[in-house]
Structure 1
Amino acid sequence: MSFETFEPTAGILLYIAAVFLATGVVKGVLGIGMPLIAIPLLAGTVGPIAAMSLMAVPTIAINLWQTAQSGYMGGALKRFRAAYPLLIGGVILGLFFLTRLDRGALFVLIGVIVMLIALSQMLPFNLAIPQRWERWCTPLVGIVSGLLGGVSSFLGPLMAMYLVALRVTKDQFVGAIALFYLIAAIPFYLGLGVSGHFGWTEFFASAAAAFLIWLGVLAGQRLRARASAELFRKLVLGLLMIVGANMVRKGLM
């Protein structure tokens, strides 16, 4: 489905706006990646690929800002240089499959990935990767993350677990993950454009989404000081499990 053939009602538009605001709130409270929240909630309304295209402006804008603010761009470019070409190649290969899967298969694929990501976040993660292994692990994580990103736009969780296992500092983590997102997002959305899934209509809709998400982030930052972050995280992950299971159900029907 594309926005050229999408016929929204007032109720659907309100739902889409609410999803973007909620995505921003979750981002503001927990910092969880925006596509992971928005895409499964929107896929049943506008279609999976159209949902991904709506995240173009928010994804590029926030990761460009975080990369610039981190002060770690040069360090990340040098340390993880072996990952970037494979990340881009993986995104392109993943996109090839994304644009050729039928709607049912795409729903099942994204639903399973969402549930696996939510489950991984519920389990304790204490893996530590020795520095001597980094030379070999970085390219592998790059290609696998690229494939996941290309077929679903969810490259962040695997990359985040890898950076945590490397025991990078908080500032290094933010700068490195934002740069990975930025480098992957450019070929991903260019590919959607070439395949006819991202044009000016999608761009302007995505810009409007960015504004709503920004409002949600501001609200989430205020809420973070008052709410229990751990309880909020469990509720969000539980919701993702339900949404992912529902996507699988729809895909199999």
Structure 2
Amino acid sequence: MNLNDITGSGPETLLMGIVAAVFLLAGLVKGVVGLGLPTLSMGLLAGVMPPAQAAAILILPSFLTNAWQMWDGAALASLVRRLWPLQLGVVAGTLWAPVSLVTLDVGLASAGLGAALIVYALLGLFAMPLAIPQRGERVSSFAAGLATGAITSATGVFVFPAVPYLQALSLKKDELVQALGLSFTVSTVALFLRLALEGSFAVGRLPSGWILVLPLPAALLGVAAGQMLRGRVGEKGFKRLFFVGLLLIGIYMLARGVMH
């Protein structure tokens, strides 16, 4: 089933419901743990539209929810000073990666990312968490950004290895969520530029009408609800919830890749 099949056969209300539910759920997850919107959206929309098209309608809700998350806190200035090498790497990796959404096998990429996230989440839940030494942090930060950018270009997902890297910096709960918002905002802009360079926003390549508008309010509503839930979770509970969230996203991505 694809987008043309649905819109062409008449039950457009069904498609509206699918898109709204996808972005509401993805926004809720993002509001609670600070991530998951592009990952869940890309995966759940795979059955009704091509990956490049799903990434295109994801750009606006992803950018605005990430910008909201980035500005929602008092640590933005210090995070920018500390994490600018990571952001520089993300932009470079996204724009100049040799593979992209239109060239890489989506199933293989999804399965690989899912397996990596599962391993990392299990380490965080049942073993000592990873830590990044301050010496050489700028170099490791830039390298993590390059890898994240390359994976973003290939899959439309901003999670790996930026999320494990940021978590390894031992940031506090709200700082981590704000740092994720900063990284994801930069990733969204970089992905937009990559898609634009590849012609994904050319006339005739994008769906029209409500499908470009509906994802944004659904995602914002989900994020607002998720943030309310996060405010009731303590520091230790949040870390546990964070790793459980990563584990579930990893399992989902692995299963999606295997069944692709």
**What TM-score, normalized by structure 2, do the two folds share?**
0.77
Partner of 1:248: 258
| Structure 2 residue identity aligned to 1:98 | S
The answer to whether the aligner puts 1:154 opposite 2:157 as a matched pair is yes
Measure, in 1, the Cα distance between the counterparts of 2:5 and 2:73: 39
In structure 2, the CA distance between the partners of 1:78 and 1:177, relative to structure 1 (3 Å rule), is same
- Amino acid of the residue matched to residue 249 of structure 1? M
Q: Structure 2 CA distance, aligned partners of 1:127 and 1:107?
A: 28
Residue 116 of structure 1 corresponds to: 116
Residue 46 (structure 1) shift: 0.8
Distance in 2, matches of 1:135 and 1:237, equals: 28
- Alpha-carbon distance between aligned partners in 1 of 2:87 and 2:95, rounded to the nearest angstrom: 12
**In structure 1, what is the Cα distance between the partners aligned to 2:242 and 2:138?**
37
Aligned equivalent of 2:195: 192
Distance 2:229 2:223 in 1: 10
Deviation at 1:243, TM superposition (A): 5.3
Stretches of structure 2 lacking an aligned partner (at least 5 in a row): none
Q: How does 1:87-98 map to 2 (within 5 A)?
A: 87-94=90-97, 96-98=98-100
Q: Tell me how far apart the structure 2 counterparts of residues 79 and 232 of structure 1 sit (CA, whole Å).
A: 22
Preserved CA contact (<8 Å) 2:34 2:180: no
Displacement after TM superposition at 1:240 (Å) = 5.3
1: CA distance, partners of 2:82 / 2:32: 30
Distance 2:213 2:6 in 1: 19
Aligned match for 1:208, one of 177, 191, 214: 214
CA distance in 2, matches of 1:41, 1:28: 18
Letter in 2 for 1:185: T
Q: Which residue of 2 aligns with 1:101?
A: 103
State percent identity of aligned pairs: 25
Match of 2:63 among 45, 60, 63: 60
Kindly state the Cα deviation for residue 183 of structure 1 after the two structures are TM-superposed: 1.7
How far apart in 2 are the matches of 1:110 and 1:231?
22
Please give the residue correspondences for 1:1-253 in structure 2 after superposition, counting only pairs within 5 Å.
7-8=6-7, 9-10=11-12, 11-94=14-97, 96-101=98-103, 105-124=105-124, 126-198=129-201, 201=206, 205-220=211-226, 237-238=247-248, 241-242=251-252, 244-250=254-260
Cα pair 1:49 1:197 within 8 Å, conserved: yes
Q: Report the secondary structure of 1:151's partner residue.
A: helix
SS of aligned partner of 1:45? coil
- Does structure 1 retain, via aligned residues, the 8 Å contact 2:73–2:178? yes
Is the Cα contact below 8 Å between 1:112 and 1:248 reproduced in 2? no
Q: Structure 1 25/155 Cα, relative in aligned 2: closer, same or farther at 3 Å?
A: closer
Counterpart code for 2:177: V
Kindly indicate which of the two structures has a greater share of residues assigned to helix. 1
State whether residues 30 and 37 of structure 2, in contact with CA within 8 Å, keep that contact through their aligned partners in structure 1: yes
Residues of 1 paired with 2:200 and 2:114: CA distance?
A: 22
